[in-house]
């Protein structure tokens, strides 16, 4: 990259002190890449006592990644041992733990260290990071890998505190609570609620799936890999590459992103036909079928993949309850129609505060610029990575990145390759600071918001994709456009300060 500071006379290379916040999928990636480069001093801050991010936090029954397992792996660490086409959550957690072990990342991680604030000092040109014990540490560069869907959203349901049984959010699963033979009510019909209900059907004495809004369901078979297949993957990694880079999966991603950015595209009509047929074919009782028919377009809310959900909710011990909740009573869930769904266990699969990103960490940039203020009413970041007034501060999977039905690992790897190129002039001491130009973000947001309103996410439903202004916050262009725009930073987009 040609930087405006590159005319400086060949200065000595710099060893940067780099802080990575978060030891989930993206933070581990950054740590591995920086450790391999071997140039810089690294500290990874992790608030919990284990790595894993979303796969550590979510342990609910039925947790499965609906992105094909071989595509949900680091490009440099394929895993021939996945047990099935879609991997269960605990197996994914073990994969990340194994990668951390293989790449010897653990010694770089400060566990149990929650970051409270990051403050940029204009004079010293350093970031001071303060943890929840009040300890300060200075860094040249901050990489925020703090995750996307992280902070549970608790529903404001009257009487919630009065429930007499066990009650918890899906991302705070209480494994001490017995499930077998109990009456269980699950609130929420996103990917999480659907996976939980599919897993608990047949175990609970009575299972209620309470859904304010029914969802479109895309069938997705999940076949186990045989030992012979796993041996073949071990013997020939090309077979794994065929799954993750071959036409079948990449074609799906291309067609899906084309569909979501153009609600009238033939690819979108294809999706609509599949999910409609799935509903017609799978739900026998016409009354239930109509109750489960969404009144918005497929993929407006994040599409749900399941091949057994409709079967499970038609079992005699399971009831799909479509409608609004009046309140929670000690005995169960009182619906607006007056019925009471009596339960011993209440599971809140009610989603996440999707606009938090780095927050609640307080981030103060150049001139004491306040991230919270900059992100009011809604967060944005150039390519989901950089922000004006926050020099040498980079995000992985920050706001406006492509969060959808494909691999976030791939997205993070592309973003990391982009960040590496921005770190290079710092490491060559060609400049001390790299900062996004304010007009770069302004122009990006103008284009982005116009395009986002036209995506399927903006076609008239509520979902976590929408920001506080009602604009879909996810990347509104094709997958290829993301790959292209993150391939190489444009020097004109940034200020390089010597
Ligand atoms: P979600 O998609 O945001 O769904 C939350 C659900 O809770 C919705 O059905 C919502 O109803 C309901 N809800 C919220 N407040 C409510 C209230 N006061 N009363 C009644 N219902 C209420 O959350 P999620 O299911 O946890 O999924 C979030 C995202 O995580 C997914 O979209 C996906 O990106 C990711 N995820 C991925 C996988 C995977 O396999 N890769 C698995 C799980 C999750 P309304 O629709 O009416 O608002």
pLDDT in tens, 249-307: 999 999 999 999 998 999 999 999 999 999 999 999 999 999 999 999 999 999 999 99
Q: Is 430 helix (H, G, I), strand (E, B) or coil?
A: coil
Report CA(438)–ligand 1 centroid distance (Å). 34
Span 449-453, mean pLDDT?
96
β-pair partners for 84: 224
Predicted confidence at residue 9, as pLDDT, reads 54
Predicted confidence at residue 472, as pLDDT, reads 97
Among 124-128, 156-160, 402-406, 408-412, the minimum mean pLDDT is found in: 402-406
Span 83-111, mean pLDDT?
98
Let me know: does 118 contact 272? Beta carbons within 8 Å: no
Predicted confidence at residue 8, as pLDDT, reads 46
Could you tell me if the CB of 190 is within 6 A of ligand 1? Answer: yes
**For the CA atoms of the chain, what is the radius of gyration?**
24
Could you tell me if the CB of 193 is within 6 A of ligand 1? Answer: yes
Residue 10 has pLDDT above 80, yes or no: no
Atom of ligand 1 nearest to the CA of 157: 18
Query: Which of 154, 158, 188, 407 for a ligand 1 pocket mutation test, highest count of atoms within 8 Å of Cβ?
Result: 188
What span, in angstroms and rounded, lies between the C-alpha atoms of 486 and 481? 8
What span, in angstroms and rounded, lies between the C-alpha atoms of 15 and 11? 13
Atom of ligand 1 nearest to the CA of 464: 3
What span, in angstroms and rounded, lies between the C-alpha atoms of 119 and 101? 32
Residue 470 has pLDDT above 70, yes or no: yes
Span 311-319, mean pLDDT?
98
- pLDDT tens digits for range 14-42: 999 999 999 999 999 999 999 999 989 99
Query: Which of 192, 213, 334, 356 for a ligand 1 pocket mutation test, highest count of atoms within 8 Å of Cβ?
Result: 192
Predicted confidence at residue 6, as pLDDT, reads 44
Q: How confident is the model at residue 1 (pLDDT cuts 50, 70, 90)?
A: low
Could you tell me if the CB of 349 is within 6 A of ligand 1? Answer: yes
Could you tell me if the CB of 462 is within 6 A of ligand 1? Answer: yes
Q: Which residues touch 93 (CB under 8 Å, ≥6 apart)? A: 52, 55, 56
E strand or H helix that includes residue 482: helix 479-485
Could you tell me if the CB of 150 is within 6 A of ligand 1? Answer: no
- Give the neighbor-by-neighbor strand order of the sheet with 393-395: 109-110, 41-45, 17-21, 141-144, 393-395
In whole angstroms, what separates CA 295 from the centre of its chain? 26
Could you tell me if the CB of 215 is within 6 A of ligand 1? Answer: no
Let me know: does 52 contact 96? Beta carbons within 8 Å: yes
- Give the Å distances, CA to CA, from 288 to 108, 197, 294, 313: 53, 16, 12, 10
Predicted confidence at residue 11, as pLDDT, reads 66
- pLDDT tens digits for range 356-386: 999 999 999 999 899 999 999 999 999 999 9
Write down the pTM of the prediction: 0.96
Q: Is 405 helix (H, G, I), strand (E, B) or coil?
A: coil
Could you tell me if the CB of 87 is within 6 A of ligand 1? Answer: no
Q: Is 62 helix (H, G, I), strand (E, B) or coil?
A: coil
Name the residue among 332, 19, 324, 382 with its Cα closest to residue 206.
332
Q: Which domains does the chain have, with CATH numbers?
A: 5-47+112-151+353-497 (3.50.50.60), 160-348 (no CATH)
Q: How confident is the model at residue 403 (pLDDT cuts 50, 70, 90)?
A: confident
Let me know: does 463 contact 304? Beta carbons within 8 Å: no
Could you give phi then psi for residue 288, rounded to 5 degrees?
Answer: -65, -40
- Give the Å distances, CA to CA, from 371 to 282, 389, 407, 422, 435: 48, 9, 27, 21, 14
**Helix, strand and coil percent figures for the chain, each rounded to 5:** 35, 20, 45
Average model confidence (pLDDT) across the chain: 96
What span, in angstroms and rounded, lies between the C-alpha atoms of 23 and 94? 14
Could you tell me if the CB of 25 is within 6 A of ligand 1? Answer: no
Segments in 286-345 forming alpha helices (H) = 286-291, 309-313
Predicted confidence at residue 12, as pLDDT, reads 72
Provide the token pair at 55: 């796969």
Let me know: does 456 contact 268? Beta carbons within 8 Å: yes
Could you tell me if the CB of 405 is within 6 A of ligand 1? Answer: no
Span 109-127, mean pLDDT?
98
DSSP structure string for 212-246: SS---EE----PBPPHHHHHHHHH-HHHHHHHHHS
Predicted confidence at residue 406, as pLDDT, reads 76
Residue nearest to atom 3 of ligand 1 (CA): 351
Q: How confident is the model at residue 404 (pLDDT cuts 50, 70, 90)?
A: confident
Span 403-428, mean pLDDT?
94
Could you tell me if the CB of 464 is within 6 A of ligand 1? Answer: yes
Span 74-79, mean pLDDT?
98
């Amino acid at each position: 990259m040609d930087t405006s500071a590159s005319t400086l006379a060949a200065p000595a290379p710099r060893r940067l002190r780099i802080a990575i916040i978060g030891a989930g999928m993206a933070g581990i990636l950054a740590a591995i890449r920086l450790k391999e480069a071997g140039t810089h001093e690294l500290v990874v801050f992790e608030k919990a006592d284990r790595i894993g991010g979303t796969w550590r936090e979510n342990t609910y029954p039925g947790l499965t990644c609906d992105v094909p397992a071989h595509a949900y792996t680091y490009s440099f660490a394929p895993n021939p041992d996945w047990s099935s086409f879609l991997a269960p959550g605990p197996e994914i957690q073990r994969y990340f733990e194994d990668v951390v072990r293989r790449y010897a990342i653990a010694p770089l991680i400060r566990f149990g260290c929650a970051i409270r604030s990051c403050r940029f000092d204009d004079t010293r040109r350093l970031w001071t990071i303060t943890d929840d014990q009040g300890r300060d540490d200075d860094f040249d560069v901050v990489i925020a890998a703090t995750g996307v869907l992280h902070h549970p959203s608790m529903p404001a349901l009257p009487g919630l505190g009065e429930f007499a049984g066990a009650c918890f959010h899906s991302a705070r699963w209480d494994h001490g609570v017995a499930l077998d033979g109990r009456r269980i009510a699950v609130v929420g019909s996103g990917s999480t609620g659907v996976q939980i209900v599919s897993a608990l059907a047949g175990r609970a004495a009575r299972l209620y799936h309470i859904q304010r809004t029914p969802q479109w369901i895309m069938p997705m078979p999940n076949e186990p890999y045989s030992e012979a297949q796993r041996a073949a993957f071990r013997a020939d990694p090309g077979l794994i590459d065929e799954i993750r880079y071959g036409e079948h999966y990449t074609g799906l991603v291309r067609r899906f992103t084309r569909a979501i950015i153009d609600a009238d595209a033939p690819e979108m009509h294809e999706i609509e036909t599949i999910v409609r047929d799935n509903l017609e074919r799978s739900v026998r009782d016409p009354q239930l079928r109509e109750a489960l028919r969404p009144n918005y377009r497929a993929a407006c809310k994040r599409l749900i993949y399941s091949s057994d959900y409709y079967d499970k909710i038609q079992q005699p011990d399971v009831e799909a309850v479509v409608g609004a909740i009046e309140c929670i009573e000690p005995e169960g869930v009182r619906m607006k129609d007056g019925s009471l769904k009596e339960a011993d266990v209440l599971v809140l699969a009610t989603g996440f505060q999707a606009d938090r990103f780095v927050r609640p960490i307080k981030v103060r940039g150049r001139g004491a610029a306040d991230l919270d203020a900059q992100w009011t009413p809604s967060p944005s970041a150039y390519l989901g990575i950089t922000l004006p007034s926050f020099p040498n501060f980079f995000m992985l999977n920050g706001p406006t990145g492509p969060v959808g039905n494909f691999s976030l690992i791939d997205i993070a790897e592309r973003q990391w390759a982009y960040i590496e190129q921005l770190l290079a002039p710092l490491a060559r001491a060609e400049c001390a600071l790299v900062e996004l130009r304010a007009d770069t973000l302004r122009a990006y947001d103008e284009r982005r918001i116009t395009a986002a309103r036209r995506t399927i996410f903006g076609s008239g439903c509520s979902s976590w994709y929408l920001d506080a202004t009602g604009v879909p916050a996810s990347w509104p262009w094709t997958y290829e456009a993301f790959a292209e725009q993150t391939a190489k930073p444009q020097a004109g987009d940034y200020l390089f300060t010597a």
